[in-house]
Structure 1
């Protein structure tokens, strides 16, 4: 059995009433590895409740008790916040593979590209301190609607993605492999998000596909994503 941990920001935790891309990815893993071959772990289970302004909701669009809601994701949290937490999370809930989508909130509010890249390296070191054999798949930052009108921010996103690729190349080892996923080629923030940042149903499928295809192509885990990549209704 492979144990997966989803690590991310608001795009990963999701908010009340959503499936989340975590759910889409879990379905894919169950379909390709078998339900007995997959475990999802992590210290948190909630969705973000926008009315309360806190991660308090369990109102997932799919309320099936079979869906493992565990994760390490937070609304407004980035590499800066989760690098100090990943070692403890992995000690509490050991995982074989981390699926990580972070960076947008860092660049938008907390750190520049170089500082954010240093926090990536700190995250990797901390994860390996808890599990020297952990595998990690990292997704580049997908620029949101702000990048269309804020040129300096767009430049920081582009620069960070370059530094992220370099960090993955520098830190990848046979003992603890790192993998840089690719942005889904058809991802369109005007069609695949509900506000220019957060994924809607089609965006959830496309984010899951980025991780699924990376796992399949590089490590022969699972298979190509077979979920709905056109805009679905739910």
Structure 2
């Protein structure tokens, strides 16, 4: 038995050793580390409420090319150009990597955070710098600003000697000192480039049109965002990051891409419009049509701002439709972008309540009246030695006043209202009732 068992074991071992080994799975390709890019700039890079920003356009370009990228920085916000404050997140499309280190009004001479600290904390592979215009606007010379940009590169390298840097041109070429600064950037890049850290220039000012590519002469609209992103993409391509820009892609429409939230209150031969938004819109065109007269939509020949406007010289009893078309700076929206439509029917203020009467108990009174035309609510007041005191409001033609002071009689006034449109009032004197009288 032992010999048979031993023979079986030997045969089994031999068979196992002779069998082909199972295939070893191939090692998975390691996922490439994303390229970390730090965008440092001023308002042109930060963007304002309602913008996509050129940061978004660059991210789209790299994502579409399959380039793993991580935009880094301490901020994610836009500047709210209407409220005049930072912290807006009202992007036209916020579904992208929004990290950055840009701030409205920032100068290369006065950085919010020293570049060495930013590089040490966020560990970028590439720093894209787009600063200098605000320094020039503060009366510094192009030579001085160019030298400061050179020191910016040196300071970045104190935290990482291998970091690459893109110097983007200022796009406000209408400002006399900007072309000279842009020309000097090539010399700065050539002098700053080392074997371990390359410096290149992004030609962001090339072809940039202050009228067509901005909404106010300085800040990029959708077209300008694309142009800046093209130039930065080309500069990154020169560093081996992603493909060059595809300039065959058509420009997107400019101007706000959403409408305001509009409401309206009818008044006597007028209507007051009130609205909020959309983000970044600086004014609105008013469109109107007289529905009763069968008119088509007409755009008024001026713009309104501030969140409220009153249309005057309307015909009482007619129905009017209104809508708003948003504008940002000098950019009207490409395509049909409007608010909701509101309909109003202006009318005279409501008349006084009719047949106002009262029935009183010892400390209470019931007031009743007939509703005048156009009245929607009523204000009830009682006369005191110090003037009229408001007791309350009601939408019904009846009011119960309780807790009245001891008196032989009380004088009441009831005023009609239509929304916030004040109407006429009626007055009645009500004698106090006897012990058996009750209010209810």
Q: TM-score, normalised by structure 1?
A: 0.87
Q: Structure 1 residues 167-176 or 52-61, which shifts more?
A: 52-61
Instruction: Report the structure, 1 or 2, having the larger strand content.
Output: 2
Q: 1:229 to 1:75 in 2, by over 3 A?
A: farther
Task: List aligned pairs for 1:118-197, cutoff 5 A.
Answer: 118-145=147-174, 147=175, 154=176, 156-183=177-204, 185-197=206-218
Q: 1:42 to 1:188 in 2, by over 3 A?
A: same
Q: Is the 8 A contact 2:203 2:231 kept in 1?
A: yes
Q: 1:228 to 1:81 in 2, by over 3 A?
A: farther
Q: Distance in 2 between matches of 1:110 and 1:49?
A: 26
Q: Secondary structure at the match of 1:210?
A: helix
Counterpart for residue 91 of structure 2: 60
Structure 1 portions without partners, runs of 5+: 148-153
| Alignment size in residue pairs | 221
Q: Structure 1 residues 171-180 or 76-85, which shifts more?
A: 76-85
Q: Is the 8 A contact 2:173 2:179 kept in 1?
A: no
Counterpart for residue 372 of structure 2: none
Q: 1:224 to 1:184 in 2, by over 3 A?
A: farther
The Cα shift of 1:209 comes to 0.1
Counterpart for residue 121 of structure 2: 92
Q: Is the 8 A contact 1:171 1:178 kept in 2?
A: yes
Q: Secondary structure at the match of 1:3?
A: strand
Q: Structure 1 residues 53-62 or 13-22, which shifts more?
A: 53-62
Structure 2 portions without partners, runs of 5+: 1-33, 255-440
Q: Distance in 2 between matches of 1:18 and 1:220?
A: 29
| Mapped pair 1:13 → 2:46 | yes
**Bigger RCO (CA 8 Å, 6+ sep):** 1
Q: Distance in 1 between matches of 2:65 and 2:247?
A: 12
* Cα deviation code 1:195-230 (max 9, x no counterpart): 1111000100010000111222x2232112137764
Flag the structure with larger Rg: 2
Q: 1:50 to 1:119 in 2, by over 3 A?
A: same
Q: Is the 8 A contact 2:37 2:126 kept in 1?
A: yes
The Cα shift of 1:159 comes to 2.5
Q: Structure 1 residues 51-60 or 9-18, which shifts more?
A: 51-60
Q: TM-score, normalised by structure 2?
A: 0.48
For residue 76 of structure 2, the aligned residue among 26, 45, 67 is 45
Instruction: Report the structure, 1 or 2, having the larger helix content.
Output: 1
Q: Secondary structure at the match of 1:233?
A: coil
* Cα deviation code 1:30-51 (max 9, x no counterpart): 12243xx211100111101123
For residue 226 of structure 1, the aligned residue among 246, 251, 266 is 246
The Cα shift of 1:131 comes to 1.2
